[in-house]
Amino acid sequence: MTRLIPWRLSSLLVLLAVAVSVHADVVRIVVDGTINPVSAEYIERGLARASDQHAQALLIEIRTPGGLSDSTRQIIAKMLASPVPVIVYVYPSGSRSASAGFYILEAADIAVMAPGTNTGAAHPVLMGITMDPVMKEKLENDSAAFIRSYAAKRGRNVEVAESAVRQSKSFTDQEALQQHLIDYVAKDFSDLLKQIDGKTITRFDGRTLVLHTAGAQIADYSMSLKELILSFLMDPNISFLILMIGLAAIYAELNHPGAIIPGVVGIIFVVLAVFALNLLPLRFAGVALILTAFILFALEAKFATHGALGIGGIAVMILGALLLVDGPIPQMRIHPVTAIAVSITFGLLTIFLLNIAVRARRGKVVTGDQGLIGELGTAQTQLKPDGKVFVHGEIWNAYSPSGAEPGQAVRITGVRDLVLTVEPVPLGVPAGSSLK
């Protein structure tokens, strides 16, 4: 009898383990935006979280216009190697998983779309480069081979999937379901979990697994603070705006040394912008054009060409902004409205401030001891050569090598140790006036 207790105890533990595995959570992450290094890191952390929690699956809720090829390949490599099944769900209705999102959808163990969603349009694009026919064909063949390499193992229609790459075809949820690009159309998460419950899936390594999602809870796994900040900065329009604000703040600090706050803000903003732009497909031709615009602004302020150089600088800055980020989709490039608005505002402000600075440096000093040089005064006593002079309502000790008579107008030529050096001025110049 006593020998049966350990056997019964072990059986009970096995049943408990099975029960826990049956009711394990489904970890959900939300990818809303372009596919970039930040979203790739987020999905990778989500896969690790689902694995650590022995979850039934990782659910990727996706809505994206596309993104970077390198980040897409990194995400798919992690999905194919994941020990936890991956469900990709295009949700909610009205969303899309286009371009790079189509590759990710086809790589899932289970691909699902909500009613009223679409996917496809996965033709590879290289912005800023005019490809010859051979290069274009090589790029298409590489992308087509990439999607064939895993679509067949996932049970997808390889021929139709390849048409989305070669011919940029797009598909509604029903079209994708009918042509075996996805496994289910689900109206919401409850419907999704209900439909996939009990489904036997074949993993990429050939193992089979039965999903038990009835009664499973969806556990959300959000982006970290770092990822949220970087995701915000990865918008090229935001990065460009932050860069311009940072440069303006640094310029203000250079013109007002010791203000400190503009300098600190400027350095922080420029560093953030450079870090974000480094993660984006940056074109150095755009950087060179923006620097050229600054040179033209400075020349406009120095030589006063009546706006010719200033207008040229604004035009060059707009062109530089449009070329700064070479994204494969419009959402990953600086919008023309942003480029024009920021460039005109920044250009006019820079020209105005530079003009003030140049005039200030050219102007004569009018304060302190140096401000007295050139002023006219009146000799209070005879200067032989020392004596007293009256200047600006004050009586000063003065020295005049050529001498001066009382009441004679004198001009100040120097100041040293509170003693003015003066010289007599021709008759007819009224005392108290200025020869500046």
pLDDT tens by residue, 47-82? 999 999 999 999 999 999 999 999 999 999 999 999
Fold of 4-224: 2-enoyl-CoA Hydratase; Chain A, domain 1 (3.90.226)
- Start-end ranges of CATH 2.40.50.140 in the chain? 369-424
**Segment (H or E) for 416:** strand 409-416
What DSSP assignment string belongs to 224-281? PHHHHHHHHHTSHHHHHHHHHHHHHHHHHHHHSTT--HHHHHHHHHHHHHHHHHHHS-
Fold of 369-424: OB fold (Dihydrolipoamide Acetyltransferase, E2P) (2.40.50)
- Start-end ranges of CATH 3.90.226.10 in the chain? 4-224
Question: What pLDDT, on the 0 to 100 scale, is given for residue 130?
Answer: 59
pLDDT in tens, 134-189: 888 888 999 999 999 999 999 999 999 999 999 999 999 999 999 999 999 999 99
Alpha-carbon separation of residue 16 from 11, 209, 216, 296 (angstroms)? 9, 19, 16, 75
In this prediction the pTM is 0.73
With cut-offs at 50, 70 and 90, classify the pLDDT of residue 402.
Answer: confident
Question: What pLDDT, on the 0 to 100 scale, is given for residue 22?
Answer: 41
